[in-house]
Amino acid sequence: MKTKSKQLTLKWQRLVDEGDTCPRCDSTENEIEKAVSTLRQSLKPLGIEIILNKEVLTIEEFKKDPLESNRIHINNRPLEDYIDAKTGQSPCCDVCGPADCRTIDVEGNTYETIPSELIIRAGLSAALD
């Protein structure tokens, strides 16, 4: 009897307004793609399938809660939970307007773009969870 493979689901959400997103979300998209590729290679021998869902926040949703943009969840938990990070905020760009956008603080470092290394670390932690 074949056993069902385990899944690791990453959900990334970001503001997209008239086809545009901010530079930090654009850069995070590249980083999450790198991280997913690495996680797929690393976890495939363990029978763990990696699923990436990219979700769009409208400008109206963004205005209600700007810190929801550029947010990553792994298996329905915020990335920050897995890497002992805190959420911060800082001014961003024209697409985001006057709203401060999400940053994450890890071990004394603040990141506007979420680096693939942190996504991989959180993904591996979630896989072992």
Q: Which pLDDT band, with edges at 50, 70 and 90, does 100 fall under? A: confident
Which position has the higher pLDDT, 121 or 92? 121
Phi, psi of 3 (to 5 degrees): -85, 145
pTM: 0.92
What is the reported pLDDT for 75? 96
Separation CA 75–CA 97 (nearest Å): 31
What is the reported pLDDT for 97? 79
Give the type of residue at 75. N
Q: Any alpha helices (H) in the chain, and if so which ranges?
A: 23-43, 59-64, 79-83, 116-128
Q: What is the mean pLDDT of the chain?
A: 91
> CA gyration radius for the chain?
15
Helix (H, G, I), strand (E, B) or coil at 125: helix
Question: In which region does residue 60 sit, left (phi positive, over 0), alpha (psi from -120 to 50) or beta (all else)?
Answer: alpha
Terminus-to-terminus CA distance in the chain, angstroms?
Answer: 25
> Is the pLDDT at 124 greater than 90, yes or no?
yes
Q: Which pLDDT band, with edges at 50, 70 and 90, does 22 fall under? A: confident
